[in-house]
A and B are shown apart, each in its own frame.
Chain A
Amino acid sequence: DAGITQSPRHKVTETGTPVTLRCHQTENHRYMYWYRQDPGHGLRLIHYSYGVKDTDKGEVSDGYSVSRSKTEDFLLTLESATSSQTSVYFCAIAREGQNIQYFGAGTRLSVL
């Protein structure tokens, strides 16, 4: 257990509304990641962070932004949610010097 908490666990929202998902970790790891999981696609990287205010885009970053103002929190924002962003979102951390990632329990987001 890497002390990762995702909130909310479930959310239903309407097209066009902004949505923010939170990932909180208790172990002060530098590396944090946001993924989305859709059937047939495995996990696809949205954004990642190597430290406070140090973030970069992953392979499916369009329509998403992130912020990391504190080591323990990594926020994922959908500026204007669309139905194509209906998915399960996972946050992960990696320990220094390791490629292994530890995942939160996920947030199931439905955009109607």
Chain B
Amino acid sequence: TQLLEQSPQFLSIQEGENLTVYCNSSSVFSSLQWYRQEPGEGPVLLVTVVTGGEVKKLKRLTFQFGDARKDSSLHITAAQPGDTGLYLCAGARNQGGKLIFGQGTELSVKP
């Protein structure tokens, strides 16, 4: 059972386009994290959102946590080829506890 549904699973766009990745669940999480992974490497944390309705920005990336803390989105403005990679959302239910990962979104940005 996949508790975190991530969509889309694949996205291929041109440089300069905008995109949004969604992470949805029927469960409430204490926090939600977004990771980025490049080929041959482990995932690296981009951001953690904790409060319902929270919005965080990281340069051209905007992350939002749903009001009910069940879903999140990642929006990239004016995508660059350097944004290419696998994006993973992960939900936590308690401190120091296990994470539940979404299936991942494979993003390809073509110049």
Contacts and interface: CB of A to CB of B under 8 A. Distances in A.
A43 B88 contact: yes
B98 to A, nearest CB: 6
A107 to B, nearest CB: 11
Contacts of A102: 45
B7 to A, nearest CB: 12
B103 A41 contact: yes
B79 to A, nearest CB: 22
B33 A100 contact: yes
Q: Range of interface residues on chain A?
A: 20 to 34
Nearest to A100: B45
B98 A33 contact: yes
A98 interface: yes
A99 B31 contact: yes
B14 interface: no
A45 B104 CA distance: 15
B88 to A, nearest CB: 6
Contacts of A103: 42-44
A94 B45 CA distance: 12
Given A99-B33, A103-B44, A104-B42, A42 B102 contact: yes
Given A31-B96, A45-B99, A99-B95, 5 more contacts: A4-B42, A40-B9, A44-B101, A50-B96, A101-B99
